[in-house]
């Protein structure tokens, strides 16, 4: 049986099984979690088989736990360029299933190269929880291989690659969901619905508050021998070769916050790290999820050129959208999103929730995840004929349900690409320290060669991301 027929058969089996049960709601377009009683407690052939590409901090703290608990999924394989992390992830998965009653379970497959994982015809979907510079290529190869994808944000580190990825996903017909889990947190949906339905009058300004990284004081790191358990050459991917040091990659012991997050070679700092979350909510509240700003300006502090950890420091940016709304972002604002209208304001944040131990949380007795200029705004009921946004009680379950039912997921790739684009446009303005003019249709800067040069990144062989390439040339 062909790969497509296998996936289709499993999906049809689940759909047919669900008819007349909880699945009826899903098939009607209402996301829901499929109960174990429908699929059978341990029936792998009826579940979505998932492979986890990237077995670091986010995968271990958030994505693998979020998927493995779902009755609609089974984690079948793990993959990482660090063999120690692969074996640790395998043990984590094996132990989970043993505790769930599968005595002697030891069958989680392990891979160093994600290309080999994608060639496994038993795998239906993958989690991509790699470092930021390794998001796009595995995701493109996955959908080309017919696999559905849950990909951590940001969608890309340059707008041109994000566009290629979005186009490839659309062409493939596969489901790709971005890990923008704030969309599945009730206060963010409620805030955006209230704004979209005019409860604060005409929206004119949005304040986005993000944390920042404070680069280490020491700016010199000695080259270290590459650990035998790490495929460092491939870990660098398309980025230029630089000598190895542990603070450049990830800790060899444990899963604390890795150094690559603070290196521009592999990320853009908190402007994408947290910006991908909060700018996404700003877009959701404005209804600009499939477009972008037209003017962007910004400035930032930067570490010394010789610093290993060289992402931005204190910053301020301003983005103007065609609807007249200004989005102001800075680390000086409270962490969250504040919508300002002609008749009041709404502020929304995560409150005390954190996906990982290093996430900032709101503290204090008066800390609120959702607040407004007038408490009555928050108790306003959204009418039947008003705008109702997609409802998701669980981000990972929403992804799996989308695969099963075909109902669009709550954070599709084009939405993730556009939110990420706002982050990257802000980053470009911070780098150039001047106003930029953007065309969200062509996705190019207007009459600005220097800024347009920032729409692409290093393409070191053989990890290039180009339009028209195919996964078969890589496996």
Assign residue 99 the CATH number of its domain: 3.40.50.720
The band of 214, judged by pLDDT with boundaries at 50, 70 and 90, is confident
Query: Taking the CB of residue 28, how many other CB atoms lie within 10 A of it?
Result: 10
Indicate the range of 34-48, 190-204, 284-298, 325-339 predicted with least confidence.
34-48
Q: How confident is the model at residue 20 (pLDDT cuts 50, 70, 90)?
A: very low
User: Alpha-carbon distance 449 to 70, whole Å?
Assistant: 48
Tell me what percent of the residues of the chain surpass a pLDDT of 70.
Answer: 84
CA dihedral (99, 103, 104, 106) in degrees, to 10, reads -50
Pairing of strands 370-372, 315-320: unpaired
Let me know if residue 161 belongs to a domain: yes
Residue 357 lies in a domain: no
Close Cβ partners of 101 (under 8 Å, ≥ 6 residues apart)? 41, 42
Domain span holding position 55: 3-183
Residue 71 domain flag: yes
User: d(Cα 281, Cα 188) in Å, to the nearest integer?
Assistant: 7
Average pLDDT over all residues of the chain = 88
Residue 25 has pLDDT above 80, yes or no: no
Is residue 173 domain-resident?
yes
Q: Residue 295: which of 271, 319, 279, 315 has the closest Cα? A: 319
Q: How many CB atoms lie within 10 A of CB 361?
A: 12
Instruction: Flag the least confident range among 137-151, 242-256, 339-353.
Output: 339-353
| Sequence-separated (6 or more) residues with CB below 8 Å from residue 471 | 115, 118, 140, 141, 144, 145
Residue 269 pLDDT > 70: yes
Sheet order of strands, 344-348 included: 370-372, 344-348, 336-341, 203-209, 326-330, 315-320, 295-300, 436-439, 444-445
Can you tell me the distance from the alpha carbon of 420 to that of 425, in angstroms, rounded to the nearest whole number? 9
Q: Give the pLDDT band of residue 5 (cuts 50, 70, 90).
A: very low
Whether 470 has a pLDDT exceeding 80, the answer reads no
* Number of domains within the chain: 1
pLDDT of 104 > 80? The answer is no
pLDDT at 305: 85
Q: Mean pLDDT over residues 9-16, rounded?
A: 44
Q: Which two tokens stand for residue 238?
A: 């398309």
- Span 146-170, average pLDDT: 98
Asked if residue 62 is part of any domain, the answer here is: yes
What are φ and ψ of residue 466, in 5° steps? -135, 150
- The pLDDT value given to residue 14: 41
Contact residues for 40 (Cβ-Cβ < 8 A; gap 6+) = 46
Of 4-18, 361-375, 423-437, 446-460, which range is least confident? 4-18
Residue 390 belongs to some domain of the structure? no
Evaluate whether residue 227 is within a structural domain: no
Model-level pTM? Answer: 0.88
Which DSSP category does 230 fall into? B
* Rounded alpha-carbon distances, angstroms, from residue 185 to 74, 189, 191, 259, 391: 24, 7, 11, 29, 9
Cα 268 to chain centroid distance, Å, stands at: 14
Question: Is 29 a domain residue?
Answer: yes
Look at 359 and 461; give whichever has higher pLDDT: 461
pLDDT at 466: 72
What is the percentage of the chain residues whose pLDDT exceeds 90? 80
- Of 446, 416, 432, 448, whose CA–CA distance to 175 is shortest? 416
- Answer whether 404's CB lies under 8 Å from 39's CB: no
């Amino acid at each position: 049986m062909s790969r497509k027929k296998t996936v289709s058969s499993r999906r049809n089996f689940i759909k047919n099984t669900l008819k007349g049960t909880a699945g009826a709601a899903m098939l009607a377009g209402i996301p829901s979690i499929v109960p174990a009683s429908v699929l059978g407690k341990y029936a792998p052939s009826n579940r979505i088989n998932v492979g986890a590409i990237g077995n670091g901090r986010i995968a271990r703290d958030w994505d693998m736990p979020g998927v493995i608990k779902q009755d609609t999924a089974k984690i079948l394989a793990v993959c990482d360029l660090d063999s120690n992390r692969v074996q640790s992830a395998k043990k984590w998965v094996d132990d989970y299933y043993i505790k769930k009653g599968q005595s002697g379970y030891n069958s989680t497959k392990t891979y160093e190269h994600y290309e080999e994982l994608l060639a496994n015809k038993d795998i239906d979907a993958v989690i991509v929880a790699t470092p930021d510079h390794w998001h796009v290529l595995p995701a493109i190869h996955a959908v080309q291989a017919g696999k559905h994808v849950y990909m951590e944000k940001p969608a890309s580190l340059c707008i041109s690659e994000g566009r290629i990825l979005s186009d490839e996903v659309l062409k493939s017909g596969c489901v790709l969901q971005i890990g923008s889990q704030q969309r599945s947190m009730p206060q963010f949906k409620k805030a955006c619905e209230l704004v979209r339905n005019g409860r604060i009058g005409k929206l004119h300004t949005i304040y986005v508050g993000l944390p920042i990284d404070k680069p280490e004081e020491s700016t010199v790191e000695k080259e270290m021998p590459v650990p035998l358990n790490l495929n460092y050459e491939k870990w660098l991917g398309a980025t230029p070769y630089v000598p190895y040091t542990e603070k450049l990659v990830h800790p060899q012991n444990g899963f604390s916050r890795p150094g690559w997050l603070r290196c521009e070679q592999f990320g853009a700092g908190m402007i994408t790290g947290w910006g991908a979350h909060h700018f996404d909510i700003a877009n959701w509240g404005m209804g600009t999820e499939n477009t972008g700003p037209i003017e962007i300006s910004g400035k930032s502090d930067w570490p010394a050129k010789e610093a290993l950890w060289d992402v931005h420091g204190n910053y301020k940016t301003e983005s103007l959208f065609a609807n007249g709304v200004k989005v102001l972002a800075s680390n000086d604002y409270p962490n969250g999103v504040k919508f300002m209208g002609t008749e009041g304001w709404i502020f929304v944040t995560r409150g005390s929730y954190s996906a990982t131990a290093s996430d900032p949380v709101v503290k204090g007795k008066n800390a609120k995840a959702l607040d407004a200029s007038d408490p009555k705004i928050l108790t306003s009921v959204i009418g039947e004929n008003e705008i109702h946004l997609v409802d998701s009680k669980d981000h990972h379950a929403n992804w799996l349900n989308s695969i099963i039912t075909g109902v669009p997921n709550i954070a599709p790739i084009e939405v993730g690409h556009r939110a990420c684009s706002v982050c990257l446009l802000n980053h470009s303005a911070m780098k150039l320290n001047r106003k930029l003019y953007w065309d969200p249709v062509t996705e190019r800067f207007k009459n600005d060669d220097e800024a347009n040069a920032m729409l692409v990144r290093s393409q070191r062989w053989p990890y290039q991301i180009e339009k028209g390439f195919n996964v078969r040339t890589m496996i």
